[in-house]
Structure 1
Amino acid sequence: MKIVIVANGTLSETDRLLSRIQQADMVIAADGGAVHLHHMGIVPRIIIGDLDSIPEHILSFFKEKQVKILKHPVRKDQTDLELCIEYAIDHGCTDLLIMGATSTRLDHTLANIFLLRRLADQGIPATILDAYNDIHIVVSRLTLTGRAGDLMSVIPVSDRVKGLTLKGLEYPLTDKSLCMGSTMGISNVFTQDKAEISLNSGAVLVIKPKEDI
């Protein structure tokens, strides 16, 4: 099941995102993500969170549309986005796209990005998409599509990454070991329409930036 979660962070280029959301089997709003969806004219299947970021008139609108509301207390041990991800996993998610997960709050942004590790460990393809980047965490393999000249960075996010292999890029690697803190994988370049990343152990953060915005 393809699921889209829309969170309360920065969300722009709504026209470009609209088609991606409409292709989903289920749309989940993480608290204030419901505001983004309201602006786009999209009704989510469910709204999850403490509801502290949704104006009353928008909440009332979605209640009238019979959207399921799963309210959590403000004082809790998990973020609204993590609760949404758990819901998605429990409801058969096989492909997850997360929007609105990045913002000027670096702490929230980093926490949201590292939520991808849980999905990667369970073999669920997941992407955080914003106006400037496509973001993934990889623990085994990933193939990305692009165009020759597109950029891609691969950043170790475990103490050691072993067996890292990169194909379809200007700076390929074969069975390379990298330690967390290495910048070797920054700003690689697509040489064809596909790039392949694989590794034997550890985890890498893969970011495909958009420089043409």
Structure 2
Amino acid sequence: MSQTAVIFGSVSHKDWGFARAYFPEDPLVICADGGLRSALAAGLHPQILVGDGDSGGTPRADLRFVPLRREKDFSDAHAAVRLALEEGADRLILLGCSGGRADHYLANLFLLETIAGLGASGLLVDPQNEISFFSGGRITVKNDPPYRYFGLQPIDEKLTGVTLSGVRYPLIDATVCRGDTLSISNEPLSSEFSVEVDSGRSFLIRSGRICPRLVHKFRLK
């Protein structure tokens, strides 16, 4: 049976409404230290708090607490990801993990690759973006919840055999090098589009969240 874990980092947002589309009916909610405040603000009841306390995560009687040393070789968010996988989660949603310090943001992005390498799927979501790791192959992407833009950002030196269909600017068997901007700022033309990459790892980014009442203006039907 599939299990979704929602992991909260310590980056806060004024309104967590953007995240509700990603909450399953009964998620495993894990807070990385100060992410406890965010989980409560988002209206979820956390089950586990993991961290070293340096960003304000205070243990509570109704939570399982996994204490960490402040001097360690991994971040609180990384520990939360490990714990989620140990608990049997096969789909991880990372919230409150982007923005703030650039080193943590980049590290959290690459946690998506770590998650994929361990056989699970992961998304990093904030008010404007949904980011996933893509190791190559062919996938159909459902634009749900709807975003206006789509981009493919190479991790490796180059992506080969890049074919994009169902988007405003299609590509056929293209090569996209790291540092190029050829594969960003594309736009889905319907509720689904396809991405194919013969070789190379990348981040698949959907951005520019669309309010549901405006979907018809962006041809997302």
Give the TM-score taking structure 1 as reference length: 0.87
Query: Partner of 1:199 in structure 2?
Result: 197
Query: Partner of 1:85 in structure 2?
Result: 81
8 Å CA contact retained: 1:144, 1:194: yes
Offset of 1:15 from its aligned partner?
3.0
Does the C-alpha gap of structure 1 residues 120 and 200 become closer, same or farther in structure 2, counting only changes over 3 Å?
farther
Structure 2 residue corresponding to 1:53, chosen from 48, 52, 55 = 55
Query: Partner of 1:189 in structure 2?
Result: 187
Structure 1 residue corresponding to 2:67, chosen from 54, 61, 71 = 71
State the SS of the aligned residue for 2:72: coil
Offset of 1:143 from its aligned partner?
3.2
Using the alignment, how far apart are the partners of 1:174 and 1:120 within structure 2? Answer: 26
Does the C-alpha gap of structure 1 residues 104 and 54 become closer, same or farther in structure 2, counting only changes over 3 Å?
closer
Aligned length: 207
8 Å CA contact retained: 2:34, 2:56: yes
| Map 1:157-196 → 2, pairs under 5 A | 157-196=155-194
Query: Partner of 2:7 in structure 1?
Result: 5
Query: Partner of 2:110 in structure 1?
Result: 114
- The runs of at least 4 aligned residues of structure 1 exceeding 4 Å deviation read none
Structure 1 spans left out of the alignment, 5+ residues: none
Offset of 1:106 from its aligned partner?
1.7
Offset of 1:18 from its aligned partner?
4.0
Residue identity in the other structure for 1:143: T
8 Å CA contact retained: 1:12, 1:131: no
Does the C-alpha gap of structure 1 residues 101 and 159 become closer, same or farther in structure 2, counting only changes over 3 Å?
same
2:137 is equivalent to residue 135 of structure 1? no
1:31-62 deviations in whole A, cap 9, x for unaligned? Answer: 10001123344321211111222264xx3xxx
1:113-136 deviations in whole A, cap 9, x for unaligned? Answer: 111111233342211110111111
Using the alignment, how far apart are the partners of 1:123 and 1:169 within structure 2? Answer: 29
Offset of 1:81 from its aligned partner?
0.7
Structure 2 spans left out of the alignment, 5+ residues: 212-221
State the SS of the aligned residue for 2:41: helix
Give the TM-score taking structure 2 as reference length: 0.84
Using the alignment, how far apart are the partners of 2:33 and 2:156 within structure 1? Answer: 31
Query: Partner of 1:154 in structure 2?
Result: 152
Does the C-alpha gap of structure 1 residues 124 and 200 become closer, same or farther in structure 2, counting only changes over 3 Å?
farther
2:17 is equivalent to residue 15 of structure 1? yes
Residue identity in the other structure for 1:158: D
Q: Greater shift after overlay, 203-212 or 91-100?
A: 203-212
Cα RMSD, aligned residues only: 2.3
1:83-117 deviations in whole A, cap 9, x for unaligned? Answer: 11111122222111110001232221111111111
Residue identity in the other structure for 1:139: S
State the SS of the aligned residue for 1:87: helix
